[in-house]
A and B are shown apart, each in its own frame.
Chain A
């Protein structure tokens, strides 16, 4: 079955880079997403990558996709305390009508 795995916790110091990793099993995934959830708020789409790309950069965010290993990562450069949140990896399969398959989320803690 489809499965998305990610580590549960990551702690970094302010100013350092954060790398959040995710693996997925569905080789037919067409799009992969990173969502951010701040305390008490809903999920906010940070970025997404199409499966025929291997990298996407958007300001401080860099997404790397290794389709062969089914591995997705999110790098946050110059991590700030405001980046503290839960980050969810999600995929959308081929032929899917839009429903997303999520990982359990990685809680990022940024220490001053």
Chain B
């Protein structure tokens, strides 16, 4: 069974540009989470989808971030326009049940904004 995959693995963009990160959860997992780790800081929750619906987006930093999960399969996280402080590693995780303990994490996308 394939794990959670994320694309790209690394993205380098200039301030003001747009970047779209993609996450493919494990097939059949209704719950999809986005987290972010800014250099030297904690991994912070961004938002949670149940199927195609946003269950909790309390961690989204501002309106430059837009997450979608059309069709309830893969998800995209778009940053527009990117700022220097958006640099970090963006993790995606999925789980089958909402209360399930194991969230399966992807390898992350390292975003560098210059």
Contacts and interface: CB of A to CB of B under 8 A. Distances in A.
B88 interface: no
A44 B105 CA distance: 7
B106 A42 contact: yes
A53 interface: no
Interface string A40-60: 111111001000000000000
A100 B45 contact: yes
A98 B99 contact: yes
Interface residues of B, number: 29
A104 B42 contact: yes
Interface residues of A, number: 22
A99 B105 contact: no
18 contacts: A33-B101, A35-B105, A42-B4, A42-B104, A42-B106, A43-B105, A45-B102, A98-B33, A98-B48, A98-B103, A99-B45, A99-B59, A100-B35, A100-B43, A100-B45, A101-B45, A104-B40, A105-B43
Interface of B: 3-4, 31, 33, 35, 40-45, 48, 55-56, 59, 91, 93, 95, 98-108
Interface of A: 4, 31, 33, 35, 40-45, 48, 88, 90, 97-105
